[in-house]
Structure 1
Amino acid sequence: MVKNFLRNWSPRVEIPTECRQVGALPYAVVDGRLSVLLITSRRSGRWIFPKGAIEPDMSASESAALEALEEAGVVGPIEDVPIGSYRTGSDSDGSALVDVDIYPLLVETQLEDWKERSQRLRHWAVVSEAQRLLVDPALGRIAVALARRFG
């Protein structure tokens, strides 16, 4: 009985749209090396990837690309399928949880001036450095998943 239950059980559950966000994983390949772009969160100053709400009348990936533009000042093609997801606190005390789907974005343009420039820092890092800087290990695992594509 337990075997049958576990065989059909899935930890992924459908959650309300307001409990779901999207993020971008901005990346570039220079001289055969993958680098990812990290930004600081406004609230804690921790290194993260750009993320936010799904905008009305926009797809999830389009919303993620908009977050990358507003929060990191980068533009480029974004994939339509997320590379991974993670769960994080969505309010100041972290008591409300939100699932964030992360979409890879190949950076073609990095702006010198963007909407949240005065509120955030940005930093290009190779994946091993990104893993050390990202406080949430799930974000590091998502960066590693992207790196595996480039072997």
Structure 2
Amino acid sequence: MPTNNPKKLSKDETAERSERRLQYGALTYRVTEAAGLEILLVTSRRTKRWIIPKGWPIKGLKAHEAAEREAYEEAGVYGKAASKPFGSYVYSKLLDAKAIVVPCEVSVFALRVRGQDQVWPEFHQREARWFTPDDAIASVDEDGLRALIAAFAASGRDSNERAPQKSDA
């Protein structure tokens, strides 16, 4: 279940949360005159599920900067991520080498895309595709991520961004 507001955790929830591994993700989006709000999803490398760009913390980078880096490496997009997470969700990650499943909590940062390269570091490993919010919700497997995308779409984007004007095109 996604979280937008922190709450006081019970002892059991605190213990469960401490076992989770932390990742940072980017909810990459754009607003176009023709289509309105669009969400960029990428495929996972192994199973080819539709996901958001995300990864492990990176030494020397703040959380939102790590989300920006993941967005570039996995989807070739760049822009400025919000400095505070929009929300979070939990999913089960299969660690490749060990075949061990670990719970991961992803702190998700909204990132308005300013541009996209034709080739990027993981270009040959992933597909990147723009979706309407409804199609993005229908395409992802994780319930928490679906709920987070729905909440983001309902919020009218992050409050610091404005819809593009004709001069922005």
Shorter chain as denominator, the TM-score bin is 0.7 to 0.9
Letter aligned with residue 44 of structure 1? T
Shift of 1:86: 1.2
- Residue 68 (str. 1) matches residue 55 (str. 2): no
Post-superposition CA distance 1:36-61 (Å, at most 9, x none): 00000001100000000110011011
Aligned counterpart, 1:140: 146
- Residue 15 (str. 1) matches residue 14 (str. 2): no
Letter aligned with residue 54 of structure 2? K
Shift of 1:127: 0.6
Letter aligned with residue 116 of structure 2? Q
Task: In structure 1, list runs of 5 or more residues that go unmatched.
Answer: 1-7
Q: CA 1:63 to 1:128, structure 2 compared with 1: closer, same or farther past 3 Å?
A: same
Post-superposition CA distance 1:82-137 (Å, at most 9, x none): 11111122324462111111100000011101000000001100110011111112
Q: What TM-score do you get using the length of structure 1 for normalisation?
A: 0.86
Matched ranges for 1:45-84 at <5 A: 45-84=48-87
Is the Cα contact below 8 Å between 1:88 and 1:94 reproduced in 2? no
The count of residues paired between Structure 1 and Structure 2 equals 143
Q: Distance in 1 between matches of 2:131 and 2:24?
A: 21
Task: In structure 2, list runs of 5 or more residues that go unmatched.
Answer: 1-6, 158-169
Aligned alpha-carbon RMSD (Å): 2.1
Q: What TM-score do you get using the length of structure 2 for normalisation?
A: 0.78
Letter aligned with residue 39 of structure 1? V
Matched ranges for 1:34-113 at <5 A: 34-90=37-93, 91-92=95-96, 93=99, 95-113=101-119
Shift of 1:149: 2.1
Q: CA 1:43 to 1:145, structure 2 compared with 1: closer, same or farther past 3 Å?
A: same
Aligned counterpart, 2:32: 30
SS of 1:124's partner is strand
- Residue 128 (str. 1) matches residue 134 (str. 2): yes
Is the Cα contact below 8 Å between 1:84 and 1:142 reproduced in 2? yes
The correspondence for 1:150, drawn from 153, 156, 162, is: 156
Aligned counterpart, 1:116: 122
